[in-house]
Structure 1
């Protein structure tokens, strides 16, 4: 084999090896960089801990509610009926409530009204009793029940007997000292609510 041909073969080998080494190096850098860049982003657990929750309202029939989890807390979204709203505004019910005007700041300012909501028909409330943290049960029926002789409908905590109306307002003479908490929330459009974000100013 002459020197010219040997030189050409050696040059091709060097070029091939240089290209292969460069390609492998670039792949190694990419493989290292991707996890590094991902480490800057919040983890799925961190996003779940505080991320807003979007709920479609079209699937909630009048008089029904859904349960979602936000910041590891149960949250109810209730679509109130005209009859529920009528009962909430009755003087008889108001006389039975500990804090009918929600003066204890258990809700954002934009929900600081008798219905404790932005829209009259939609209640968004944290489903945790303000006594010892149990989850009350939804009791939309009215009249005589085993826990109230003239029940107007609302929420009853079976742990210790606390009662709340369809606005999350606490009754008098029960263990719970405060109304249920209203979380931050906003409507993006007529059929969607986002729990965990205040309304856009």
Structure 2
């Protein structure tokens, strides 16, 4: 989300906050300033405008001003990902020196592991649990949910995003071992964190 808000930074520099602008434009500029951790003092905007800004935050009015984030797994390029048995991508994208300077920026499609993943037989001495597939659904759901909450930009808040994953995933949070997919999903749907996405789901395990 921070990347989206920085796109129009140059435009904001040429049109300072003290200019007479319409209400929606002013709210968006204040939103950018707050995301940059700039204190909204009376030197930046009058008290009346600040109160209007806080009301807009509380009512989620500003969410309409942000470009929606498209999950990478819904992009056409995600359908063409081919993985080998060890989890590595069969076709690796070529990174130019220019792109290499931007490796810290989130890419459209995750590159995947750079080295081969060890097999389960090397990780555990016994046979994998027959519920492994169910637990993977639980983990993947937690991953997708967290990216949705952070609009794909979780890097600025690694601790907060990790806590969201642990609160949603029954397996990673070590609070239980779901025995079927429905049980795994219902655990996530019952969590208060689901309200972060404005979603409400009712389910019954009985």
- TM-score higher than 0.5: no
Scaled by the length of structure 2, the TM-score of the pair is 0.21
Greater Rg, structure 1 or structure 2? 1
Scaled by the length of structure 1, the TM-score of the pair is 0.21
Name the structure with the higher strand share.
1
Higher relative contact order (CA 8 A, sep 6+): 1
Name the structure with the higher helix share.
2
